[in-house]
Chains A and B, each alone.
Chain A
Amino acid sequence: MSMAIAAERPQATAEERCEYTLRLADTSLVAGQRLAEWLGHGPALEEDLALGNIALDLIGQARLLLALAGRIEGRGRDEDALAFWRDAAQFRNVSLAEQPNGDFGHTIVRQCLLDAWQLETYASLAGSADTELADIAKKAAKECRYHWRYSAGWLVRLGDGTEESHRRVSEAVQDLWRFTDELLTPDALDARMAECGIAPPAAAVRERWEQRVAAALREAKLPCPVHQHYPWHGKRGVHTEALGHLLATLQHLPRAHPGVSW
């Protein structure tokens, strides 16, 4: 019986699986690196610790996912080789993750939109046909649940706060909303992975993301912007200028001193 099901379901190639895993891995890595830029600059010690802790979780997820992508690829590249020795065009993160921090409210809005997507995606990936990916996702989903609690909590406090805090997060929502289309609209690879039982159906993730984000925006007294078509394609390697600057910092040390350890 189970063999019959396996025979009916199309099998993804190693190249497709590697590419899809890199999308998740790079999104966590780049988002984690962005949050790490807040270290020592948080508006209060608690927020400094919070952003640093979330960054650690994200970089930890990236490490597990990059290692998995390397094993699928089978060319001997480990997580460090993939993180430090690829250039911007080879990164597959969604463009939202690479957007600069701006002020604290801007970072909170970016995290909110991304946390909701990671949470729904990882929760659905728990049932993935790729069992290694499913195990990483189940652990990551637990972490993303409190990342979301943190960012959504701040979204409400800032949106429903002072006139100035409301204005600032309101502008951030307007500025970052255009990057959400990429999260929710499947391309050919997303569709293929869903067909193979590896990725969740995009429509299900979209519906839960929209409900989650709309409820948080309502509570924060922020208007939900209208859908905007997305002109960039980070997950296909076409990035905004911001990624190159981020990678320059991230990759500087191992590139300046290849093989360095400490």
Chain B
Amino acid sequence: MSAQAADAAPRRERRIWRTLQSVMDPEIPVVNVVELGIVRHVRTGEDGRVHVGLTPTYSGCPATEAIEQAVRAALDRAGLDDVALETVLWPAWSSEWLSESGRRKLEAFGIAIEPRAGGAPACPRCASRNVERVGEFGSTPCKAHYRCRTCLEPFDTFKCL
């Protein structure tokens, strides 16, 4: 790689990160894929190509393919055509990978997050901790279903896995 190319690589990587921040999750359109924690790396390989590592939230997440296509389309639109997309399986995704801004946006959208330390999540509507788990499984594989005993509203919760 020439000195000029080596200097261009970090700039190109930063542009790719910015582009990825415009790709929203297809199921939860308020968070982008970077905030969701499914972009594992953006790095320039020895071949000079930039490699973007994506990880699925769950093995069977049906959005995985849609996300890959959306990422590819966004990169194409930004004129970043020589980017290799690769799947990273380990370390596996968990709610730990959600960024702080991602967490705030999810809660504002009405999706709670199970605390890592265990215990009940707070109701995203009234912040009450008096909630009960209705089912281990919610509207998507990454969520469980809860109900708030204070405001009586049902809500989805990101599982802590």
Contact = CB atoms under 8 A, between A and B. Distances in A.
Interface stretch (B5-13, B30-38, B118-126, B130-138): B130-138
A49 interface: yes
Contact of B92 (A50, A52, A139): A139
Given A60-B56, A60-B58, A140-B59, A146 B90 contact: no
Contacts of A60: 56, 58-61
Contacts of A134: 90
Interface residues of A, number: 27
A242 B90 CA distance: 35
A64 B134 contact: no
A223 to B, nearest CB: 27
Interface string B49-70: 0000000101111100000000
Nearest to A145: B161
B145 A49 contact: yes
A61 B92 contact: no
A203 B61 CA distance: 33
Interface residues of B, number: 20
Contacts of A61: 59-60
Nearest to B60: A60
B141 interface: yes
Contact of B136 (A64, A136, A139, A149): A149
B58 A150 contact: no
Interface string B119-161: 0000000000000001111110100010000000000000101
Contact of B141 (A46, A56, A135, A149): A56
Given A46-B145, A136-B89, A146-B161, A53 B59 contact: no
Contacts of A52: 137
B138 A49 contact: yes
Interface in A36-82: 46, 49-50, 52-61, 63-64
A146 B139 CA distance: 16
B90 A135 contact: yes
B89 A56 contact: no
B68 to A, nearest CB: 14
Nearest to A46: B135
A24 to B, nearest CB: 12
A195 interface: no
Contacts of A139: 59, 89-90, 92
A146 B92 CA distance: 15
A55 B137 CA distance: 12
A53 B137 contact: yes
Contacts of A255: none
Of residues B60, B135, B138, which shows the largest number of chain A Cβ atoms within 10 Å of its Cβ?
B60
Contact of A142 (B92, B135, B137): B92
Contacts of A146: 136, 159, 161
Nearest to A65: B59
A138 interface: yes
A173 B60 CA distance: 29
Contact of A46 (B58, B59, B94, B134): B134
A143 interface: yes
A145 B46 CA distance: 39
Nearest to B140: A53
Interface of B: 56, 58-62, 89-90, 92, 94, 134-139, 141, 145, 159, 161
12 contacts: A46-B134, A49-B137, A49-B138, A50-B137, A52-B137, A54-B137, A57-B59, A57-B60, A64-B89, A138-B89, A143-B59, A146-B159
Interface of A: 32, 46, 49-50, 52-61, 63-64, 134-136, 138-140, 142-143, 146, 149-150
For the complex of A and B, 5 pairs with smallest distance between CB atoms: A60-B60, A60-B59, A56-B60, A46-B135, A53-B137
